[in-house]
Structure 1
Amino acid sequence: MKLNQTFLRSALATAAAFACATSAQAATFRGFDGTSLLDNVTLGNAFRPPDTMGAVGTTQFLESTNGSYTVYDKLSGAVQQRISFGQFWTNAGQGGAPNGDQRILFDHHTNRWISIGFSDSVSDINIAVSDTSNAMGPWKSTKFTGFAGGTADYPTLGMDKNGVYIGTGNFKTEADCPPGFGYCGASLFVIPKSDLFGGAPTTANMSKFDSLYPAVLDRGFAIQGAVNWDKTNNSNTGKFLGVNVDTFKDYNFYKVNGVNAAGATQTASVSVGVAAYDYTKPARQPDGTRVVDTLDERISSNVVESNGKLYAVHTVTPTGTDHTAVRWSVLNANTGAVIEEGDISGGGFDYFQGSIAVNEYGQAVIGFNRSGFQQTDLNNDGLSDGNITFMARAFETDGGGGLDQSGADMLLKASSIGDYHCSTRTVPVDCRQRWGDYSAVSLDPTNHRSFYAIGEYSKEWAVLPGFTTTERATWNTYIAEISMPVPEPETYALMLAGLALVGIASRRHRKV
Structure 2
Amino acid sequence: MTTRRRVRRVVPALLAALALSLGMAQATGASAHPQAEGKPLPAPRMVHVSKPKVVNPSGHAQPKVRREQGPLPTVSRKKLAELKAAAAKHRAKQRPGQTGGNKAGKLAPPPNQGGFEGLSQPCCVRPPDTTGAVGKTQFVQTVDGAGFGVFRNSDGALLKSVSFASFFSYTAQTIFDPRVVYDKKWNRWVISAAAFPENSTVQRVFWAVSTGSDATGSFYVYTFDPPENSGDLYDFPQLGLDQDAVIVTANIFDSSDHYVRTRAYGMAKADVYNGLGPRFPYFSLGTPGSVAPPVVEDNNASAFLVGAAPADSKLTLFKATGLGRSNATIVQQPNVPVTAYTVPPDARQPGTTDRLDSSDSRFSQNSTQIGNQLLNIHTVNIGGRPTPVWVQINTANSTVPAGQTGRVTESSNSDDFNASVAGSAVGGTSANPIGRMFFTWSSTNVTAGVTHQVRVMSGGRLATDPVNVVGGNNHSQASTFYNPSTDPVERWGDYSAVTVAPSAAGACAAGNRAYVVNERQNSTTSWGSRIGKLGFC
TM class by shorter chain equals: 0.7 to 0.9
SS in 1 for 2:127: coil
Displacement of 1:386 in angstroms is: 2.5
Displacement of 1:129 in angstroms is: 0.1
Which residue does the alignment assign to 1:56?
A: 134
Instruction: Note if contact 2:405-2:467 (Cα within 8 Å) is conserved in structure 1.
Output: no
Displacement of 1:404 in angstroms is: 4.3
**2:215 counterpart of 1:135:** yes
For structure 2, the 5+ residue unaligned runs are 1-103, 427-434, 504-509
Moved more, 285-294 or 362-371: 285-294
**2:389 counterpart of 1:309:** no
CA 1:171/1:80 → structure 2, altered by over 3 Å: closer, same or farther?
same
SS in 2 for 1:284: coil
Amino acid of the structure 2 residue aligned with 1:57: G
Listed one character per residue, the Cα deviations across residues 286-318 of structure 1 (whole Å, up to 9, x for unaligned) are: 114252110100001121112431111001002
Instruction: Note if contact 1:367-1:393 (Cα within 8 Å) is conserved in structure 2.
Output: yes
Displacement of 1:260 in angstroms is: 4.0
Which residue does the alignment assign to 1:349?
A: 414
CA distance in 2, matches of 1:203, 1:396: 40
CA distance in 1, matches of 2:108, 2:407: 23
Listed one character per residue, the Cα deviations across residues 310-343 of structure 1 (whole Å, up to 9, x for unaligned) are: 111001002xx11010000011133331122111
CA distance in 2, matches of 1:203, 1:108: 21
Which residue does the alignment assign to 2:493?
A: 436
- Select the structure that is richer in helix: 1
Instruction: Note if contact 2:354-2:483 (Cα within 8 Å) is conserved in structure 1.
Output: no
Listed one character per residue, the Cα deviations across residues 383-412 of structure 1 (whole Å, up to 9, x for unaligned) are: xx42111111210013xxx86468951112
Displacement of 1:201 in angstroms is: 4.2
CA distance in 2, matches of 1:269, 1:308: 13
**2:244 counterpart of 1:162:** yes
**2:453 counterpart of 1:360:** no
CA 1:99/1:363 → structure 2, altered by over 3 Å: closer, same or farther?
same
Amino acid of the structure 2 residue aligned with 1:409: G
CA distance in 2, matches of 1:369, 1:182: 29
Which one of the candidate residues 67, 75, 81 is aligned to 2:160? 81
CA distance in 1, matches of 2:233, 2:136: 35
Which residue does the alignment assign to 1:243?
A: 308
Amino acid of the structure 2 residue aligned with 1:47: V
Listed one character per residue, the Cα deviations across residues 65-98 of structure 1 (whole Å, up to 9, x for unaligned) are: 11121111111111111121111223xxx67555
Taking CA–CA contacts closer than 8 Å with sequence separation of 6 or more, which of the two structures ends up with the larger relative contact order? 2
Displacement of 1:191 in angstroms is: 1.9
Question: For 1:208-227, what aligned pairs fall within 5 Å after superposition?
Answer: 208-211=282-285, 216-217=286-287, 220-227=288-295
Listed one character per residue, the Cα deviations across residues 18-62 of structure 1 (whole Å, up to 9, x for unaligned) are: xx9xx889533211111111xx23xxxx31111011111111111
Instruction: Note if contact 1:292-1:435 (Cα within 8 Å) is conserved in structure 2.
Output: yes
Question: For 1:136-151, what aligned pairs fall within 5 Å after superposition?
Answer: 136-146=216-226, 147-148=228-229, 149-151=231-233
Amino acid of the structure 2 residue aligned with 1:227: V
Which residue does the alignment assign to 1:336?
A: 398
Amino acid of the structure 2 residue aligned with 1:60: Q
Amino acid of the structure 1 residue aligned with 2:207: I
Which residue does the alignment assign to 2:75?
A: none
Amino acid of the structure 2 residue aligned with 1:357: A
Question: For 1:20-39, what aligned pairs fall within 5 Å after superposition?
Answer: 26-37=110-121
Instruction: Note if contact 2:389-2:406 (Cα within 8 Å) is conserved in structure 1.
Output: yes
SS in 2 for 1:77: coil
Which residue does the alignment assign to 1:376?
A: 449
SS in 1 for 2:361: coil
Instruction: Report % sequence identity.
Output: 25
SS in 2 for 1:195: helix
SS in 2 for 1:194: helix
CA distance in 2, matches of 1:162, 1:188: 15
CA 1:25/1:244 → structure 2, altered by over 3 Å: closer, same or farther?
closer
Amino acid of the structure 1 residue aligned with 2:453: N
CA distance in 2, matches of 1:299, 1:24: 26
For structure 1, the 5+ residue unaligned runs are 1-19, 175-180, 378-384, 462-472, 486-512
Question: For 1:310-329, what aligned pairs fall within 5 Å after superposition?
Answer: 310-318=374-382, 321-329=383-391
CA distance in 1, matches of 2:159, 2:260: 41
Which residue does the alignment assign to 2:88?
A: none
Displacement of 1:100 in angstroms is: 1.5
TM (normalized to structure 1)? 0.75
TM (normalized to structure 2)? 0.72
SS in 1 for 2:295: coil
**2:517 counterpart of 1:484:** no
Amino acid of the structure 2 residue aligned with 1:329: V
Listed one character per residue, the Cα deviations across residues 160-190 of structure 1 (whole Å, up to 9, x for unaligned) are: 211221111111222xxxxxx5211211112
**2:463 counterpart of 1:388:** no
Question: For 1:473-512, what aligned pairs fall within 5 Å after superposition?
Answer: 473-485=525-537
CA distance in 2, matches of 1:407, 1:375: 19
Listed one character per residue, the Cα deviations across residues 329-368 of structure 1 (whole Å, up to 9, x for unaligned) are: 0111333311221112443211101101111111111111
Amino acid of the structure 2 residue aligned with 1:370: S
Aligned residues: 408
CA distance in 2, matches of 1:294, 1:406: 19
Instruction: Note if contact 1:35-1:477 (Cα within 8 Å) is conserved in structure 2.
Output: yes
Instruction: Note if contact 2:110-2:534 (Cα within 8 Å) is conserved in structure 1.
Output: no
Instruction: Note if contact 1:286-1:375 (Cα within 8 Å) is conserved in structure 2.
Output: no
SS in 1 for 2:167: helix
Find the structure with the greater CA-based Rg.
1
CA distance in 2, matches of 1:406, 1:121: 41
Amino acid of the structure 2 residue aligned with 1:209: F
CA distance in 2, matches of 1:113, 1:368: 24
CA 1:98/1:142 → structure 2, altered by over 3 Å: closer, same or farther?
farther
CA distance in 1, matches of 2:373, 2:490: 35
Which one of the candidate residues 448, 453, 456 is aligned to 2:519? 456
Which one of the candidate residues 187, 190, 206 is aligned to 1:114? 190
Which residue does the alignment assign to 1:184?
A: 260
Instruction: Note if contact 2:344-2:360 (Cα within 8 Å) is conserved in structure 1.
Output: yes
Displacement of 1:277 in angstroms is: 2.0
Which residue does the alignment assign to 2:144?
A: 66
CA distance in 1, matches of 2:173, 2:108: 51
Displacement of 1:254 in angstroms is: 1.5
Displacement of 1:145 in angstroms is: 2.7
SS in 2 for 1:423: coil
Question: For 1:405-444, what aligned pairs fall within 5 Å after superposition?
Answer: 408-417=471-480, 419-424=481-486, 431-444=488-501
Amino acid of the structure 2 residue aligned with 1:351: D
